[in-house]
C-alpha cells in the first residue's frame, strides 16, 4: 500500500469520527427502497425493495424528478412522515451527524391535499426525540418551482406560522428552468418579512444567471448546488466575496446529469466534478447528499469524493466547519456545535 493511499484512508477514518453537519438534505429523498416497500404494504400495495430500487435509476434531471414524485406518492399521512424521519435520523446518527437542516417538500403536501401542519407535527415530534440522542434537526420548507408563485406564497405562509418549531428557512426546489425567478419574489418577501432565512436551488441545471437571480431577486443566503458558477468565474469570485455558500452535492450532480450539462459533455463522472476548483477560488462550500437514498450515497461517501478529487486535509476541515457556521441556528445555539467540532478536530490532530 502506498503512503498516499494510507494518508487517504487515515483522513477518511478521521472524517468518520468527527461530528458533522449537513445543510442540503431532502427528507423525501431519503426514502430507501425498503421503506417504499413498507409504505406500500400500509396501502395494500405489493412492491419489492428491488422493484423500488429500479425506480431510482435514471440518467437525467427529469428522470430524477419522476422518481422523486413516484416515491413521495407513497407518503399519505403523518405516520408515514414520522417513519421516514425516524429512519433518516438513524442514518444521520450512524455517520456522527449532530446537526442537519432537513428540507421538507411542503409544496408537494399542499398539492396532494395533505395537511402540512399535521404532517410536520409528526416530523417535529420525531426530531425532538432525537435531540436526546445527540442529533439536532432543523427544517426548511420547500416550494416546488414548477407549481408557480402563488403556490410558493402558501408554503411561505405556513412556514412562517411554524417557526416556533425549528422551521428556520424557506426554499425553492424543483425544475429551475420551469418558471421565471421573478415570480417568486412575493413568497420570499413574505418569508424574510417574518424572519425566515432564504435558500434556493439554482445553477444546478440552469446557468450562472440563475444563481445571480436567486441572490439578487430572492435574497438567497445559500445556494443549493450552484455548480454553474464554474461557467462564470467572475461571478464565482463575487460569491466568494459575498460569502454566499454553495451547497454542493457531487453524487447528485452526476446522477441527475446536471454536471454533464454544465460541462457540455454527453456524460460525466465524479472525477469531472469542479468541487476542488470552486473551493480553490475561495467560494464557501458546504458538502451535502441532496437525496441520499435516490442517489445511493451518504455524507461519508461525499467526503470520500472530496478526498479523491484532491482537496487537502485543511480544505476539507474548513468545509466541514462551514456546515456548522453557515447553518441558520441562532448564534447562541450554533456556538456549542462549532466548539464540539473544533474540539474533536483538535483531538484528531486536524487543527
Catalytic residues: 204
C-alpha dihedral (176, 177, 178, 184), degrees to nearest 10: 50
The residue behind cell 490532530 is 349
Distance CA 160, CA 128 (A): 20
What is the spatial distance between Cα 63 and Cα 88, in angstroms, rounded to a whole number?
A: 23
**How many angstroms separate the CA atoms of 131 and 90, rounded?**
12
For residues 143 and 155, the answer to whether their CB atoms sit within 8 Å is yes
How many other C-beta atoms can be found within 10 angstroms of the C-beta atom of residue 132? Answer: 7
Return the C-alpha cell found at 31: 426514502
CA distance linking residue 255 with residue 249, whole number of Å: 10
Question: Measured between alpha carbons, how far is 141 from 162 in angstroms, rounded to an integer?
Answer: 10
Q: How far is CA 206 from the centre of its chain?
A: 17
State the cell numbers at 249: 452535492
C-alpha cell at 53: 430500487
Amino acid at each position: 500500500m502506498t503512503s498516499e493511499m494510507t494518508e487517504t484512508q487515515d483522513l477518511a477514518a478521521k472524517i468518520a469520527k468527527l461530528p458533522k453537519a449537513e445543510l442540503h438534505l431532502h427528507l423525501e429523498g431519503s426514502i430507501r427502497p425498503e421503506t417504499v416497500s413498507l409504505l406500500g404494504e400500509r396501502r395494500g400495495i405489493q412492491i419489492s425493495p428491488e422493484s423500488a430500487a429500479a425506480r431510482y435509476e435514471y440518467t437525467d434531471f427529469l428522470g430524477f424528478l419522476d422518481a422523486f414524485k413516484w416515491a413521495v406518492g407513497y407518503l399519505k399521512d403523518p405516520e408515514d412522515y414520522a417513519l421516514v424521519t425516524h429512519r433518516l435520523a438513524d442514518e444521520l446518527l450512524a455517520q456522527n451527524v449532530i446537526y442537519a437542516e432537513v428540507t421538507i417538500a411542503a409544496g408537494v403536501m399542499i398539492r396532494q391535499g395533505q395537511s402540512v401542519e399535521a404532517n410536520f407535527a409528526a416530523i417535529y415530534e420525531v426530531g425532538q426525540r432525537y435531540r436526546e440522542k445527540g442529533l439536532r434537526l432543523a427544517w426548511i420548507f420547500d416550494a416546488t418551482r414548477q407549481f408557480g408563485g402563488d403556490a410558493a406564497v402558501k408554503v411561505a405562509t405556513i412556514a412562517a406560522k411554524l417557526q416556533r418549531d425549528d422551521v428556520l428557512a424557506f426554499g425553492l426546489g424543483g425544475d429551475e428552468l420551469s418558471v421565471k425567478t421573478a415570480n417568486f419574489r412575493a413568497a420570499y418577501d413574505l418569508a424574510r418579512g417574518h424572519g425566515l432565512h432564504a435558500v434556493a436551488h439554482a445553477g444546478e441545471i440552469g446557468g450562472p444567471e440563475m444563481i445571480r437571480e436567486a441572490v439578487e431577486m430572492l435574497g438567497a443566503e445559500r445556494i443549493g448546488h450552484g455548480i454553474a458558477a464554474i461557467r462564470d468565474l467572475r461571478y464565482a469570485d463575487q460569491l466568494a466575496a459575498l460569502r454566499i455558500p454553495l451547497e454542493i452535492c457531487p453524487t447528485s450532480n452526476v446522477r441527475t446529469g446536471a454536471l454533464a450539462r454544465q460541462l457540455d459533455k454527453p456524460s460525466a463522472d465524479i472525477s469531472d466534478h469542479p468541487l476542488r476548483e470552486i473551493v480553490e477560488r475561495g467560494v464557501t462550500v458546504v458538502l451535502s447528499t441532496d437525496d441520499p437514498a435516490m442517489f445511493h450515497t451518504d455524507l461519508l461517501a461525499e467526503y470520500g469524493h472530496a478526498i479523491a478529487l484532491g482537496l487537502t486535509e485543511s480544505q476539507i476541515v474548513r468545509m466541514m466547519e462551514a456546515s456548522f457556521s453557515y447553518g441558520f441556528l441562532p448564534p447562541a445555539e450554533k456556538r456549542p456545535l462549532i466548539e464540539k467540532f473544533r474540539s474533536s478536530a483538535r483531538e484528531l490532530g486536524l487543527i
